[in-house]
Amino acid sequence: MTHINAPLIIVLARAASIAPIIWLLSRGDRDSTIAAAVVFALAAMSDKLDGWLARRLHQITRLGTFLDPLADKLLIVGTLIALEGRGLVPVWVVVLIVARELAVTNLRAVAAARGFSIGASFYGKIKTIAQSVATFALLLVLFQPDPLLFDAAYALLAAAVGLTVFSGADYLAKASWALAGGPVPDRWRATRAPAGARERAR
């Protein structure tokens, strides 16, 4: 049985932070918008804190490993959906990001069921950072619609979308080797895993 520890509490708080963010953005006033940006920033930065604490306190658990990337996805996707509702994010961007996350999660699950563990991708980690920075920039645009900030925010969003597609293709390439049933090249960093093993996914 998994005991509730400090890193797990931080992960759960990050996942739950999407509720106040959506509520604050629904209010529509400037103070609520900047409050939503602050909550988002604190929640996004907590990702490094819970990982550091888990390693420092030797409190890495299967539940925490599973919930950590899920909390990141809920935070980013939930905020982007709220921003789409305010007209700042095209709906196709949200659909693309959600589709990528669902596809990668399913691919990893199928690969794990066949005895392979596909390691977390460098591009996937960078993708998460890019999405977080772009989302925060869009929140700032909502608070202060400056033309330069607007251009910077959408340039960051374009980079995040590109990394989303590229990292998804990278996982697909790894999974194609694993699911083919043959030997998996070392360059894909896909290894045989014990039954039931889970790895952090981005």
Q: What is the pLDDT of residues 8-49, one digit of tens each?
A: 888 899 999 999 999 999 998 889 999 999 999 999 998 888
Beta strands in 99-159 (DSSP E): 116-118
Phi, psi for 58 (deg, rounded to 5): 55, 45
Low-confidence stretches of the chain (pLDDT beneath 70): 1-2, 115-120, 177-202
Quote the pLDDT of residue 179.
67
Return the structure tokens found at 65.
Answer: 């490993």
Residue 70, pLDDT score: 85
> Using CA atoms, how far apart are residues 173 and 66, in angstroms rounded to an integer?
23
- Residue 180 corresponds to which amino acid? A
Q: Domain 6-192 adopts which CATH fold?
A: Four Helix Bundle (Hemerythrin (Met), subunit A) (1.20.120)
What is the C-alpha separation between 74 and 78, in angstroms, rounded? 6
Give the separation between CA 74 and CA 150, rounded to whole angstroms.
Answer: 24
pLDDT of 118 reads: 67
Q: What is the pTM of this model?
A: 0.81
